[in-house]
């Protein structure tokens, strides 16, 4: 391997089904581009983050290259990659010529082998990357050891490049994965899936609002905004929900933390809508307040994220996140179980909703054995870009990290595409 | 020679057919209940010997044949699973009217990129670059294919579907069943103590029960 020359630039692409996180090693934050094309009401088609600049986002329709978490449509994905590379990342070279660039690309666990193969071929034959490593995002997380220790409040000495035992909970747009990573390698037998992701949470909120207040069935982006801005996780669900219902039925105009007023967009002053805070109320005159179209949200705020922990409230016959995590720990080797429980890291966009960490910790402590020192780490600000950051750490430890696992273009040309499958795909 | 005879309704709802083995001539099927044994003996007359009877559950047979029997085999449970999957499909989609819509296509001339400095839609400039459909035979094939996930799954030869089927946590795996289920009203979200007698959905009060009957109850007939 010593004769192999690696490129000078290092690119990490966390190719999520909701948004792409892309950036060179050394940068502080990656660029984020929604992984979709949208069609607006006037039937024009826009790509990626152009939708943020649209003046009217009502009734937009969205198409994504992903189906159920699987990257099926490369004809679409290549457009979005090209757009992100040229317009957002401002790469200087020709798009078909990444000869001096090494790439880490993430994929969903248990990808369909044919789709992974397509992915390898595009990377090497279309973009001509120098070397390449394809992996589930969870396997990168242990390399971010300093941040992990900080999140877990662990001040022990850091004398190794990565942590040996880590349980990653990745709650994304499509679904939620629970992935044990042991000695830097995914322990495939312990990988568990919960088919509830951000899309379903939005779908449930859409149904609740449409059933109770206004018809928002076509307003995908609006519902998503409402979810992001108003939801939180209740620590004591039963108590909070009865408080909320009582408040709702009392019909008093009291200011309470339990209720929020969401101003719906009028497409003149606001296109996305916002939450009406007390300070804003004071500033506005009575007539201004009357003209606002306001949506009062009570129990929807907590029942939407609660779906992840208790799917039965939407009549779904599934086990919740707590059970899935416990199941994953139980499916792992017995000696590793306490270690996994003590090193849980939460990543993915759903955990931006406040209160998840405390609630999951509480649930897990109730259900795991007493002598487990259960710890959970979550960086709410960075939970979507955490995987990208960890990818950069794998590049930083090049000699023991990236160079050992990657496939170079020469190797690809010599061994063919099946070599990639042999090296990167899961072995069950 | 063996006979298959229909069991009269009213014994066990999940059992439909019963087959008789090892006898000659028609025999009264044995229902597995001791009190029935006497009847069976007296009915047959010619041969009052105890007959071995196998009861088949049609739904389970069908499920086994298609390799989908993930449950304990009871039809009620399968029904509930099917209902839950239907509900999941209903909620888990981004564009609500997805099935009615034509697919959004990539414009033929490629996308307009916005100007680098401008964030205004009106002053975007055309990129001028035509989208190339692959530079090698392999990538040409990938980039021009319009296959969806189902097409790929049809072609798949690995055992990935079996793996996918076992990824989700179920009741009967190595599970601690300590997380209690929440009982919430399907209409208002409050804690609820009643279930609909027709469809099993929860509601909390007479008011919510009425709303449920009017709007959502799947088995409700006026």
A341-370 pLDDT, tens digit per residue, is 999 999 999 999 999 999 999 999 988 888
Note the pLDDT of residue B62.
Answer: 66
In angstroms, the Cα distances linking A377 to A169, A186, A351 are 10, 19, 11
| Residue with token string 């179920």 | B170
Q: Which of residues 97-136 of B touch A (CB under 8 A)?
A: 97, 101, 103-107, 110-111, 113-114, 116, 119-121, 127, 131, 134-136
pLDDT of residue B55 exceeding 50, the answer is yes
Q: What is the CATH number of the domain that holds A275?
A: 3.90.640.10
State which residue of chain B sits closest to A179, comparing Cα positions: B167
pLDDT of residue A250 exceeding 60, the answer is yes
pLDDT of residue B40 exceeding 50, the answer is no
pLDDT of residue B51 exceeding 70, the answer is no
Note the pLDDT of residue A257.
Answer: 79
Task: Return all residues near B96 (Cβ < 8 A) that are at least 6 apart.
Answer: A206, A217, A218, A220
Higher pLDDT, B4 or B138: B138
Q: Rounded to an integer, what distance in angstroms lies between the CA atom of residue A400 and that of residue A423? A: 17
Q: For B165-171, which contacts have Cβ atoms below 8 Å and span 24 or more sequence positions?
A: B165/B70, B167/A110, B167/A191, B167/A192, B167/A193, B168/A192, B168/A193, B168/A194, B168/A195, B168/A318, B168/A319, B168/A324, B169/A192, B169/A194, B169/A319, B169/A323, B169/A324, B169/A327, B170/A319, B170/B70, B171/A319
Question: Taking the model in full, what pTM does it have?
Answer: 0.83
Pairing state of beta strands A185-186 and A407-408?
A: unpaired
Closest of B131, B126, B123 to residue A53, by C-alpha: B123
Rounded to a whole number of angstroms, the distance from the CA of A137 to the nearest CA of chain B is: 18
State which residue of chain A sits closest to B173, comparing Cα positions: A327
pLDDT of residue B128 exceeding 70, the answer is no
Mutate to test the interface with A, among B71, B115, B142 (most CBs of A within 10 A): B142
Q: Are A130 and A375 in contact (CB under 8 A)?
A: no
Interface check for B207 against chain A (CB to CB < 8 A): the answer is no
Q: Which residues of chain B lie closer than 8 angstroms to A300, CB-CB?
A: 189
Specify if A3 maps to a domain: no
Percent of all residues in chain B with a pLDDT value above 90, rounded to a whole number: 0
Q: Are A329 and A169 in contact (CB under 8 A)?
A: no
Note the pLDDT of residue A182.
Answer: 93
pLDDT averaged over chain A? 88
Note the pLDDT of residue A402.
Answer: 86
Residue A200, H or E segment: helix A198-212
- CB neighbour class for A337 (10 Å; exposed up to 12, middle 13-18, buried from 19): buried
| Residue with token string 């949200």 | A297
Out of A305, A324, A351, pick the residue that ends a domain: A305
pLDDT averaged over chain B? 68
Q: Which residues of chain A lie closer than 8 angstroms to B144, CB-CB?
A: 75
Residues A205 and A166 placed together within one structural domain of the fold:
no
Q: What is the CATH number of the domain that holds A181?
A: 3.30.420.40
Per-residue model confidence as pLDDT tens digits over A309-338: 999 888 888 888 998 999 899 889 999 999
For the residues A98-127, what does the mean pLDDT come to? 90
pLDDT of residue B50 exceeding 60, the answer is no
pLDDT of residue A2 exceeding 50, the answer is no
Rounded to a whole number of angstroms, the distance from the CA of A396 to the nearest CA of chain B is: 31
In angstroms, the Cα distances linking A10 to A49, A99, A358, A424 are 24, 11, 36, 19
Question: Are B135 and A54 inside 8 Å of each other by CB?
Answer: no
Rounded to a whole number of angstroms, the distance from the CA of A282 to the nearest CA of chain B is: 31
Q: Rounded to an integer, what distance in angstroms lies between the CA atom of residue A393 and that of residue A139? A: 12
Residues A14 and A125 placed together within one structural domain of the fold:
yes
User: Phi then psi for B105, rounded to 5 degrees?
Assistant: -100, 155
Note the pLDDT of residue B140.
Answer: 86
Residues A260 and A162 placed together within one structural domain of the fold:
no
- CB neighbour class for B94 (10 Å; exposed up to 12, middle 13-18, buried from 19): buried
Q: Which residues of chain B lie closer than 8 angstroms to A74, CB-CB?
A: 142-143, 145
Q: Which residues of chain A lie closer than 8 angstroms to B181, CB-CB?
A: 310, 312
Question: Are A315 and B175 inside 8 Å of each other by CB?
Answer: no
Note the pLDDT of residue B10.
Answer: 52
Note the pLDDT of residue A374.
Answer: 92
Note the pLDDT of residue B73.
Answer: 54
Q: Rounded to an integer, what distance in angstroms lies between the CA atom of residue A309 and that of residue B212? A: 25
pLDDT of residue A248 exceeding 90, the answer is no
Q: Are A340 and A278 in contact (CB under 8 A)?
A: no
Q: Lowest mean pLDDT: which of A165-169, A190-194, A376-380, B136-140? A: B136-140
Note the pLDDT of residue B119.
Answer: 37
Residues A101 and A155 placed together within one structural domain of the fold:
no
Torsion of CA A364, A369, A373, A376, to 10 degrees: -20
Q: Are A116 and A417 in contact (CB under 8 A)?
A: no
For the residues A297-320, what does the mean pLDDT come to? 89
Residues A72 and A46 placed together within one structural domain of the fold:
yes
Q: What share of chain B is helix, strand, coil (3-state, %, to 5)?
A: 35, 10, 60
pLDDT-based confidence at A194, cuts 50/70/90? very high
Task: Note the Cα B127 to chain centre separation in Å.
Answer: 47
Specify if A1 maps to a domain: no
Q: Rounded to an integer, what distance in angstroms lies between the CA atom of residue B18 and that of residue B53? A: 7
Question: Are B94 and A67 inside 8 Å of each other by CB?
Answer: no
Note the pLDDT of residue A107.
Answer: 92
Residues A202 and A189 placed together within one structural domain of the fold:
no
Per-residue model confidence as pLDDT tens digits over B80-118: 888 888 888 888 888 877 665 667 777 776 677 765 433
Q: Which domain holds residue A163?
A: 140-197+315-377
Residues A414 and A369 placed together within one structural domain of the fold:
no
State which residue of chain B sits closest to A78, comparing Cα positions: B143
ipTM value for the complex: 0.82
Note the pLDDT of residue B161.
Answer: 84
Higher pLDDT, A388 or B42: A388
Residues A14 and A132 placed together within one structural domain of the fold:
yes
Interface check for B94 against chain A (CB to CB < 8 A): the answer is yes
Rounded to a whole number of angstroms, the distance from the CA of A331 to the nearest CA of chain B is: 8
Task: Return all residues near A248 (Cβ < 8 A) that are at least 6 apart.
Answer: A259, A298, A299
Out of A280, A305, A330, pick the residue that ends a domain: A305
Interface check for B155 against chain A (CB to CB < 8 A): the answer is yes
Report the domain count for chain A.
Answer: 3
User: Phi then psi for B2, rounded to 5 degrees?
Assistant: -130, 155
Residues A74 and A172 placed together within one structural domain of the fold:
no
In angstroms, the Cα distances linking A305 to A174, A359, A361 are 15, 11, 16
Q: Are A223 and A265 in contact (CB under 8 A)?
A: no
Residues A175 and A118 placed together within one structural domain of the fold:
no
Per-residue model confidence as pLDDT tens digits over A118-159: 999 999 988 889 999 999 999 999 999 999 999 998 888 888
pLDDT-based confidence at B3, cuts 50/70/90? low
Q: Rounded to an integer, what distance in angstroms lies between the CA atom of residue A231 and that of residue A353? A: 6
Interface check for B193 against chain A (CB to CB < 8 A): the answer is no
Strand order in the sheet with A37-39: A45-47, A37-39, A61-63
- Extract the tokens encoding B18: 């019963």
User: Phi then psi for B151, rounded to 5 degrees?
Assistant: -60, -45
Residue A193, H or E segment: strand A192-194
pLDDT-based confidence at B121, cuts 50/70/90? very low
Residues A218 and A337 placed together within one structural domain of the fold:
no
Closest of A50, A308, A284 to residue A178, by C-alpha: A308
Higher pLDDT, B102 or A200: A200
Pairing state of beta strands A165-171 and A176-182?
A: antiparallel
For the residues A195-212, what does the mean pLDDT come to? 92
DSSP code of residue A271: S
Question: Are A195 and B95 inside 8 Å of each other by CB?
Answer: no
Note the pLDDT of residue B45.
Answer: 43
Nearest to A122 among B131, B139, B182 (CB): B139
For the residues B159-176, what does the mean pLDDT come to? 74
Q: Are A64 and B128 in contact (CB under 8 A)?
A: no
Residues A20 and A119 placed together within one structural domain of the fold:
yes
Per-residue model confidence as pLDDT tens digits over A25-76: 988 899 999 999 888 888 888 888 888 888 778 888 888 999 888 999 888 8
């Amino acid at each position: 391997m010593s004769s192999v020359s690696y490129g000078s630039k290092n690119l990490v692409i966390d190719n999520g089904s909701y948004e792409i996180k892309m950036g060179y090693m050394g940068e502080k934050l990656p660029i984020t581009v929604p992984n979709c094309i949208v069609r607006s009401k006037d039937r024009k088609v826009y790509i990626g983050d152009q939708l943020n600049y649209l003046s009217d986002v009502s009734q937009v329709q969205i198409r994504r290259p992903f189906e159920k978490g699987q990257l099926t449509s490369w004809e679409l994905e290549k457009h979005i990659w090209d757009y992100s590379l040229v317009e957002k990342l401002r790469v200087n070279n020709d798009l078909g010529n990444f000869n001096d660039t090494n790439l880490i690309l993430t994929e969903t666990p248990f990808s369909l082998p044919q789709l992974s193969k397509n992915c390898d071929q595009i990377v090497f034959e279309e973009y001509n990357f120098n070397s390449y490593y394809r992996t589930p995002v969870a396997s990168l997380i242990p390399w971010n050891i300093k941040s992990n220790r900080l999140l877990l409040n662990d001040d022990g000495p850091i004398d190794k490049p990565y942590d040996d035992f880590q349980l990653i909970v990745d709650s994304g747009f499509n679904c939620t994965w629970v992935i044990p990573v042991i000695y830097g390698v995914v322990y495939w037998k312990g990988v568990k899936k919960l088919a509830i992701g951000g899309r379903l949470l939005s779908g449930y909120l859409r149904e609740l609002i449409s059933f109770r207040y206004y018809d928002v069935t076509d307003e995908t982006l609006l519902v998503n905004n409402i979810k992001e801005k108003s939801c939180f996780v209740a620590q004591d669900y039963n108590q909070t929900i009865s408080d909320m219902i009582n408040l709702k039925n009392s019909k008093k105009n009291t200011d309470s933390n339990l209720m929020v007023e969401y101003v719906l967009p009028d497409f003149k002053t606001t296109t996305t809508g916002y939450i009406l805070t007390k300070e804003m109320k004071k500033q506005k005159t009575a007539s201004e307040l009357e003209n606002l179209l306001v949506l009062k949200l009570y129990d929807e705020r907590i029942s939407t994220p609660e779906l992840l922990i208790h799917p039965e409230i939407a009549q779904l016959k599934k086990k919740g996140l707590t059970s899935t995590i416990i199941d994953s720990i139980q499916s792992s080797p017995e000696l590793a179980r306490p270690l996994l429980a003590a090193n849980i890291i939460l990543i993915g966009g759903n955990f931006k909703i406040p209160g998840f960490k405390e609630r999951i910790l509480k649930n897990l402590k109730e259900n795991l054995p007493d002598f487990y020192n259960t710890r959970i780490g979550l960086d709410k600000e960075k939970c979507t870009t955490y995987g990208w950051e960890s990818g950069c750490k794998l590049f930083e430890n090049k000699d023991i990290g990236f160079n050992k696992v990657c496939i170079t273009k020469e190797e690809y040309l010599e061994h063919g595409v099946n070599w990639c499958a042999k090296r990167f795909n899961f072995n069950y | 020679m063996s006979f298959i005879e229909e069991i009269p309704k009213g014994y066990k709802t999940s059992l439909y057919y019963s087959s008789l083995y090892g006898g000659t001539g028609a025999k009264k099927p044995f229902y597995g209940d001791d009190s029935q044994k006497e009847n069976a003996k007296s009915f047959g007359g010619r041969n009052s010997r105890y007959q071995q009877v196998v009861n088949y559950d049609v739904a389970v047979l069908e499920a086994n044949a298609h390799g989908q029997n993930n449950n304990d085999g009871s039809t009620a449970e399968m029904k509930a699973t099917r209902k839950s999957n239907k509900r999941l499909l209903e909620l888990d989609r981004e564009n609500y009217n997805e099935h009615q819509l034509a697919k959004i296509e990539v414009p033929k001339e490629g996308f307009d990129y916005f100007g680098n400095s401008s964030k205004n839609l009106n002053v975007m400039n055309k990129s001028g670059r035509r989208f190339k459909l692959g530079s090698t035979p392999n990538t040409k094939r990938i980039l021009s294919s319009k296959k969806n996930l189902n097409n790929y799954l049809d072609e798949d030869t690995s055992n990935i579907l079996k793996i996918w089927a076992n990824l989700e946590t179920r009741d009967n795996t190595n599970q601690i069943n300590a997380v209690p289920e929440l009982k919430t009203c399907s209409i208002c979200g409050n804690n609820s103590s009643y279930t609909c007698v027709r469809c099993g959905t929860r509601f909390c009060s007479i008011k919510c029960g009425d709303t449920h009957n009017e709007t959502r109850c799947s088995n409700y007939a006026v």
